[in-house]
Every structure is written in C-alpha cells, then in structure tokens.
Structure 1
Amino acid sequence: MKAILKSVLLALVATALPAAAYAHPVAGEAAGFAHGFTHPISGIDHVLAMIMVGVFAYQLGGHATWLVPATFVLVMALGGALGVAGIDIPFVEAGIALSVVLLGAVVAFNVKAPAAIAMAVVGLFATFHGHAHGAEMPESAAGAAYGGGFLIATALLHAVGLGLGYAIGRIGERRGFIVTRLAGGIAAIAGVGILAGVI
C-alpha cells in the first residue's frame, strides 16, 4: 500500500514539474498528428484538468465513469471547431486555469454530483480547452490529423485519471480518501498557481 501511495504522489509531483505551464505553441508550429497529440500532454494545465476529469468520473461511478470523460472529449471537439473558425471565447486561459482549480477541489472533496451536472461542468471547461487547441490548429490537411491527435491524447489522459482513481480505491477506503484529497488538493493549488501566473 505504501508503494502505491508513493507512486501516486510521485506521479502528481512529476506532472507539476514542467517549466512551461501552458501547452500553447505558436500557430505555425502546430501541425500534424504528433503536434496535436503532444499538445495536451506538454502543459500542466491540460494534464491536470484532464486527469482530474478521469478521477472525478471514477468517484462518481456508474454511467458517469464513461459519460463524463466522453462529454469532455466531444465538447472539446466543438470548442476546437470554434477556435479553428476564429470565433473568440473570452477568458480562455483563465477558464483553463479555473478548470484545474475546480476539478481538483471536486476530487479533493469527493463531490457526488448527478451525472448530468458533472457532464455540464466538464463540458463548460472542455469548451475552453478545445478552443485553445483549435485556435492553434493549422488550416490544412494536417489540421484534421492535429485535431485527431489532441482528442486521442485527451482520452488517454482521462484513462490515466480513471486508472489513478482505481489505484487509489485499491489502497483502502481510509487511505484512499486521504490520497484522493491530497491529489485533488495538489491539482487545485497548481491551478491557483497557473491562474496567478506563477506556474
């Protein structure tokens, strides 16, 4: 159990180490599947939010286990389309940072929201994440590959979150609760740091 606890904590700390907090390259640099795939996993803001979505879905259980992450991916695709179309959404970066804060807090406090409300919340935040990705998607044949890359990477990050939730659940109810609170708390604090511009 101690080994699992250490692994979870090390994984969370490792996600907090990248110097570049935002995964938003210059528009001309974003091309093809590889760039699309690495875009969500190269910034702590996206990584933490998407992993927390997975943990949140695991905590809710039942149909929410797949409905919540699926909603995020689908709405993120719509947000991406808005970004590609050049339709502005205000406060995109602030919305992304707030998603990390709120999702971390929801996980830390083990909020048991109805699936519909959870889907609405993650859908709102997915719009910001998608817009950030789509605004950098090239208007070329490579753009479709880029979009596919960031959607697949997002789904995989959600799967990591579900796996993390499962691993935490396996270490026991009492210790699992402590680790979950710690994981969510670290994410929420990191989100505050991102919002304040210190991470």
Structure 2
Amino acid sequence: MPRKHPMIALAAAAALLPAVAEAHVGVGPTSGFLHGFWHPLSGLDHVLAMVMVGVFAWQLGGRALWLVPATFVAVMAAGGALGAAGIGLPFVEVGIALSVVVLGAVVALGVQAPLAVATGLVGLFAIFHGHAHGAEMPESAGGLAYGGGFLAATALLHLAGLGLGVLVGRTSERYGPLVARSAGGLAALAGLGLLAAAL
C-alpha cells in the first residue's frame, strides 16, 4: 500500500466493522464521544449510505472529492441539532432507506451530476441521517461530545468510500468502474430491503 494513503486502510477497516444491527433500535447507552462514534457504524443503513457518498464523490472527482462529503457532514450536523432539540421530521426511516437506494443507484449508474446537484442530493439525505442520530441522543449525554462522535464516524465512512474508489480505480482502469458500479448496485438492492422494512 502506498505510504501517501495511510488513512485509506484505517477508513476501510472502519467500514468493515460489523454492521448488521439497525442503528435506530436498542443500541444501549448512547452518551459521550465513543457512543456517538459507534452509532453510525452500528447500522447497515448508515454505513452503506455514507460509503456510497464517498464512492460517488470519487466518481465525480475534482472539487467533489471534498465538497460532497463535507456537505453531507455539515448538513447532517444541522439535522442532528434538529433531532436533539426534539423538532420532528416526518419519514426519517424511509428517508434513510431511500438514501441507500438512491445513492447506490447513482453509483451503479455512474451518474456524472453537476456539483450543485450532487451536493444538494447528499444534503437532502444527510438531514434524515443526522436527525436520527440527534433524536436518539439521551438527555444524559453530552451533546457536543456525542455529536462530535457521530460526525467523526461519518467522515471516516466517507473516507472509506473515497478509499474504495481509489483502490478500485487502481486495480484496473478497465474493470475498476465496473467494480464500483457493482458495489453501488448491491447497495441499492440492500436499500430496497431496508425500505421495505421501513414502510
């Protein structure tokens, strides 16, 4: 592995953590930075959506490499604040499941969206993810520490997606895009299952 990409291995390892439980039911104590950090990693819906954001950003390239993930993190923070404040948002679980379907499909189809459209799309879905995290923060939790934890985990998952894109691209110029698109297709299919459960 090239030395100039030491974070890719770390990000990929984080993305491979067990993520079979929904993040929105029974995650135990959720206070402090570590609990906030674990929350996005403990739900398959969050992991898939955030990794797909990273792969999508890699597919777009240029300024999208940092602006698309940064938009997701920033808007998710706003959504988290809404959830923590008790401000309701309809169809949160459906929105999260749809984010996996849509982002997976965008990656699978290799959509080259304009930067404004790409950031708008990920920002829309980030509201739902952030709201879910914020709404589940218990009253006893330190808000800044908990919020910092789930934002850090989100950024790490985006890095995993970017790292996946870089690694796939370097594997083969001919087959790299096919591998990335296949990953997007699998994510979209998983999202359909999550959506069926959320409806």
Give me the TM-score of the superposition, normalised by structure 1: 0.87
Show the 5 A alignment for 1:85-96: 85-96=85-96
Structure 1 position 15, deviation (Å): 5.8
What is the percent sequence identity of the aligned residues? 69
Determine the structure 2 residue equivalent to 1:40. Answer: 40
Q: Return 5+ residue gaps in structure 1 as ranges.
A: 1-10
Structure 1 position 196, deviation (Å): 1.0
**CA distance 1:19–1:166, shift in 2 (3 Å):** closer
Contact kept? 2:100, 2:191, Cα under 8 Å: yes
Aligned length in residues: 185
Distance in 1 (CA, whole Å) between partners of 2:31 and 2:174 is 46
Determine the structure 1 residue equivalent to 2:67. Answer: 67
Determine the structure 1 residue equivalent to 2:82. Answer: 82
Structure 1 position 25, deviation (Å): 4.3
Distance in 1 (CA, whole Å) between partners of 2:143 and 2:116 is 32
Structure 1 position 138, deviation (Å): 2.8
Distance in 2 (CA, whole Å) between partners of 1:141 and 1:98 is 29
1:103 aligns with 2:103: yes
Provide Cα deviations, 1:3-44, integer angstroms capped at 9, x if missing partner: xxxxxxxx8xx9697442x21245973211111000000110
Determine the structure 1 residue equivalent to 2:174. Answer: 174
Provide Cα deviations, 1:144-167, integer angstroms capped at 9, x if missing partner: 111100000000000000000001
Structure 1 position 140, deviation (Å): 4.6
Show the 5 A alignment for 1:21-60: 22-26=22-26, 29-60=29-60
Runs of 4 or more above 2 Å deviation? 14-19, 25-29, 138-141
Determine the structure 2 residue equivalent to 1:126. Answer: 126
**CA distance 1:190–1:158, shift in 2 (3 Å):** same
What SS class does the counterpart of residue 89 from structure 2 fall into? coil
Contact kept? 1:15, 1:44, Cα under 8 Å: no
**CA distance 1:189–1:15, shift in 2 (3 Å):** farther
Determine the structure 2 residue equivalent to 1:159. Answer: 159
Q: Return 5+ residue gaps in structure 2 as ranges.
A: 1-11
Provide Cα deviations, 1:74-102, integer angstroms capped at 9, x if missing partner: 00000001001111110000000000000
Contact kept? 1:25, 1:136, Cα under 8 Å: no
Contact kept? 1:27, 1:136, Cα under 8 Å: no
Distance in 2 (CA, whole Å) between partners of 1:17 and 1:42 is 7
The one-letter amino acid of 1:179's match is V
Contact kept? 1:73, 1:151, Cα under 8 Å: yes
What SS class does the counterpart of residue 197 from structure 1 fall into? helix
> Aligned-pair RMSD on alpha carbons?
2.0
Determine the structure 1 residue equivalent to 2:3. Answer: none
Give me the TM-score of the superposition, normalised by structure 2: 0.87
Contact kept? 1:57, 1:162, Cα under 8 Å: yes
Larger relative helix fraction: 1
